[in-house]
Amino acid sequence: MEILADRILQMSESETLAMTRIARELKAQGKDVISLSIGEPDFNTPEIIKEAGKKAIDDNYTHYPPVPGYADLREAISKKFKRDNNLDYKPEQIVVSTGAKQSIFQTVMALVNPGDEVIIPAPYWVSYKEIVKVAEAKTVFIETNLENNFKVTAKQLEEHITPKTKLIMFSSPSNPTGMLYTKEELKSIADVLVKHPHVFVMADEIYEHINFEGKHESIAQFDYIKEQIITVNGVAKGFAMTGWRIGFIGAPLKIAQACNKLQGQVTSATCSIAQRATISAMELDPTKSKDIINMRNKFLERRDLMYKLLKEIPDIEVILPQGAFYFFPKVNAYYGKSYGKYTINNSNDLAMYLLYEANVALVPGVAFGDDNCIRFSYATSNELLIEAVRRIKEALLQLK
Ligand code: GLU
């Protein structure tokens, strides 16, 4: 007898976390594995933020916080939205959660009924589609590809909107492609949305500060559709705070209140210490903070290095990412080839081959909705990147 619920049986394990788990297991067995799988900055959290966390313990911030987050944290996030994004979200429109993943989960749960349609341009971040499955809604994917910079057009979106569409989910800067939507592109999407007021957008902006082109653009800046946008952000990527687990939304009041109600039944609130530390992260102006600027510059240097290295591998197609810390090259020229006991027919086969033959962990493109590609996270040192690509190149060249 099956004891587990259908919703769990239908759900896949997070592929980013699965590859990271396997890489950790191999390392524990003594294998010299280089992990370019999980999207996690290798930097430590800036000192000023760590100090705020330590002080929070000494100041006895050890009791239940308010469900949506401390008032002064939500005030600081409200100011951050104004300073960095020119967005007006009042503190009561902000809900702080245990990572942007929980923020996204709650947004979907608050908005989507079973049977509703959720549009997800592919490639997408792995968890979007699984969260939609839990909500028993229907995912409607729109394919994009390397040739069109992996970006969906306003026209494509409009063609997929039906009376049952409830939500569109996307990230910019994008995980896994590193592409950015320009202000003009977002405006044309906003012009479609305004004609369909029953459609909401979950705009995932977690990579905001890792942008190599200049100013980050939020779709919520267009006032005429602001009531349709849920802006999701957090501190994991831009502030090297993955383990602190802090994400947040800025949303129309009714949606924020719904997420707050749900959160009150799920986690009560997120960790008090991490919230206090996040206040000091929110006070850092990204145009002035040396910590943020140095991390971004380091990512830029690594991006350029990685681009050069990947271009030297025959038969893979790569475009230059504009943000985040991923490459998502096309690798399908290697499909149909073999080496020893390995035959490569898809991105999963290739990722497993590279893991066991080259000892480099990557995430197969199929996890992000494009089986022709594979994802490299380059949030690690130059030395490891050089060695990882050397091993990958060697392993790929032995495929015949
Ligand atoms: N978001 C990161 C990634 O894509 C972290 C892992 C996860 O939560 O998926 O690798």
CA atoms within 13 A on the CB side of 171: 29
* Euclidean distance between CA atoms 287 and 293, whole angstroms: 7
The protein residue whose alpha carbon is closest to atom 1 in ligand 1 is 39
Query: Which stretches within 171-247 are classed as H helix?
Result: 183-193
Amino acid 42: pLDDT? 95
Residues paired with residue 234 on neighbouring β-strands, in sequence order: 247
At 275, the amino acid letter reads Q
Question: Does the C-beta of 218 come closer than 6 Å to ligand 1?
Answer: no
Pocket test for ligand 1, best of 11, 13, 16, 326 (most atoms within 8 A of CB): 16
Amino acid 52: pLDDT? 98
DSSP state of 172: S
Residues paired with residue 194 on neighbouring β-strands, in sequence order: none
Amino acid 19: pLDDT? 92
Residues paired with residue 230 on neighbouring β-strands, in sequence order: 202
Q: Could you read off the pLDDT of 329-369 as tens digits, one per residue? A: 999 999 999 999 999 999 999 999 999 999 999 999 999 99
Amino acid 135: pLDDT? 96
Question: Does the C-beta of 33 come closer than 6 Å to ligand 1?
Answer: no
Q: Which residues of the chain have pLDDT under 70?
A: none
What is the distance in angstroms between the CA of the first residue and the CA of the last residue of the chain? 46
Domains of the chain, first to last: 6-44+290-398 (3.90.1150.10), 48-282 (3.40.640.10)
Amino acid 33: pLDDT? 97
Instruction: Provide the 3-class DSSP secondary structure of residue 284.
Output: coil
φ, ψ of residue 245 in degrees (nearest 5): 55, 65
Give the pairing type, strands 94-97 and 247-250. Answer: antiparallel
Question: 363 C-alpha vs ligand 1 centroid, how far in Å?
Answer: 10
For residue 206, the ligand 1 atom closest to its alpha carbon is 1
Question: 237 C-alpha vs ligand 1 centroid, how far in Å?
Answer: 10
CA distances from 73 to 40, 96, 229, 289 (A): 24, 9, 21, 19
User: What proportion of the chain, given as a percentage, has pLDDT over 90?
Assistant: 99
φ, ψ of residue 300 in degrees (nearest 5): -65, -45
Q: Could you read off the pLDDT of 118-156 as tens digits, one per residue? A: 999 999 999 999 999 999 999 999 999 988 999 999 999
Which H or E element spans position 272? Answer: helix 272-282
